[in-house]
Amino acid sequence: MSFQEYLKYLTRLFVTYMETPKDERRQRKTPKESWSSRWFGAIPMSIRLMWRK
């Protein structure tokens, strides 16, 4: 992929992003995971479940 093709691709992505309404962009966002599950996976969840029992 040449630099010009890459630049065209990036500008196309940017234009489509800017053309979508702000409300629609906000709805696409997925909720964030908690930092413990993001950094350590399922281990914190399993410890929490064991602790509650």
Domain count, the chain: 1
* Average pLDDT per consecutive 10 residues, the chain (53 residues; last block may be shorter): 93 92 77 72 81 78
Residue 38 domain flag: no
Q: Which pLDDT score is estimated for 10?
A: 95
Residue 45 domain flag: no
Question: How many helices (DSSP H) and strands (DSSP E) are in the chain?
Answer: 4, 0
Q: Which pLDDT score is estimated for 50?
A: 87
Q: Which pLDDT score is estimated for 20?
A: 87
For residues 25 and 17, the answer to whether their CB atoms sit within 8 Å is: yes
Q: Which pLDDT score is estimated for 48?
A: 82
Cβ within 8 Å of residue 17, ≥6 positions away: 25
Q: What's the whole-model pTM score?
A: 0.47
Q: Which pLDDT score is estimated for 26?
A: 76
Q: What is the dihedral of CA 15, 18, 23, 28, to 10 degrees?
A: 50
Q: Which pLDDT score is estimated for 11?
A: 96
Residue 49 domain flag: no
Tell me the C-alpha distance between 35 and 49, whole Å.
17
Residue 53 domain flag: no
- Containing domain of residue 7, as a range? 1-27
